[in-house]
Structures are given as C-alpha cells and as structure tokens.
A and B are shown apart, each in its own frame.
Chain A
C-alpha cells in the first residue's frame, strides 16, 4: 500500500513551458486535492476533485488545470509556466469530503520556473 505518490519529485522549467504533475493514490479515496506550499504561507488549495470525472477550483486556481479521468489519478497541468509558480506542490486524498475526514499527503514535487 503505497498511499499517495507524486511524479516527478523535482522539475525545472523555463518560463512559458508546460508540464503535468501526476498524483496517484491506492486507497480508493473519492476526494483528491492539489496544494501549493510557499514559505511563510502554509498550504493553499489549487484545485480539488470530489470523484472521478469531476474537478473544482480552490483558493488559487489561476494558471493551473486539472483532470481526474481515473479515480486513482489526479493530474495538475501548467500550460505556460511562470516564475510565480515556483513552489512545492502537494497532492492529497481523503476517503470522502466530510469535514471530519483526514487528508493523506504525497511527498511533494519541487518545481522551479526560471
């Protein structure tokens, strides 16, 4: 049981390039989330998904797109990367979206945009 995994672990992009971050979970969780972590700002929710085929905007969605074609996978895309998107990205999942549910996090992807 690997839990939540993220690919890649590190990535360096040039401004304007595109990339996709992959998140996978093997816990059969319904809800999945993408956060970004910046120094002194905690974690901020980018997008989330309440189930296969659904996505919704979080607190800071601009410049990102997501897809949830399979229940176990949640993809985060950057169509045209900007230096402001330099951050550590975390994926998380929870069994349901109940307010009492615990979220389980992946190890993170460190992205640098030059």
Chain B
C-alpha cells in the first residue's frame, strides 16, 4: 500500500527566510508526487508535481520541490517566505507502477505553515 508522511504538524518561519515543508512517501513502484495548498475556508489548489525527469520541480507562487529517490522524500521549498504563504500544505502520492485499474491519490495529513511578519 502507498503512504505519505508529513512529519511536522506545523512549520513556523519569519517572512523573508527560506522555508521547507517535509514529505516522505512509500510506494511499491515509481512515485508520482504532488503538492497542494489549502487556504482558510477554501478548497485545495495544485502547486506542483513530479512525474519524471529533473529532480527539482518548480511550481506556482515561487514554490519548488526536490525529489530524492534514495531518501523517498519530496520536500517543498521556497527561498523567501511571504506572510501570504501561510496555509495548510498537503503532499500526495500515486503509484506509477500499478497495472490495470484506477490508482488512487493518497494524501498526507497536512502541515500548517505560519509565516510571521
């Protein structure tokens, strides 16, 4: 079974500092990895995804994520945090190695990012 772990319930960072939100995964085959963001009282918005190729993926709003196969990680990063980045961030994984049938998207529990002025 596939799974995602987000080890931090909350990450605090000062505006202007770099931020990292951690994600590790477990799949039987090759992973397809996603990051979503949820602002208060809103639905999830897609940020970026890793399918194949370059291990550094660039996404919306200046976010990027680094895929590390040996560490089974897909950490979300941003060089300079903004107060408006404060939100709930979800990592999700799909197993690319499944045969026939639908492959569900498994979400982590989410990490709350708080950026202070």
* A residues adjacent to B (C-beta < 8 A): 4, 40-45, 48, 50, 56, 58-59, 90, 92, 97, 99-100, 102-108
B residues within 8 A CB of A40? Answer: 9, 109
- B43 CB contact (under 8 Å) in A41, A102, A106: A106
- B45 CB contact (under 8 Å) in A43, A56, A105: A105
Does A99 contact B42, Cβ atoms closer than 8 Å? no
- B106 CB, min distance to chain A CBs, angstroms: 8
Contact A105 B94, CB 8 Å, known A41-B109, A99-B32, A99-B103: no
A residues within 8 A CB of B42? Answer: 107-108
**Measured CA separation A48–B9 after assembly (Å):** 28
Contact A99 B34, CB 8 Å, known A4-B43, A43-B107: no
**Measured CA separation A42–B94 after assembly (Å):** 15
Interface size class of B (residues with CB under 8 A): 20 to 34
Majority SS at the chain A contact face = loop
- B82 CB, min distance to chain A CBs, angstroms: 22
B residues within 8 A CB of A41? Answer: 109
**Measured CA separation A85–B102 after assembly (Å):** 25
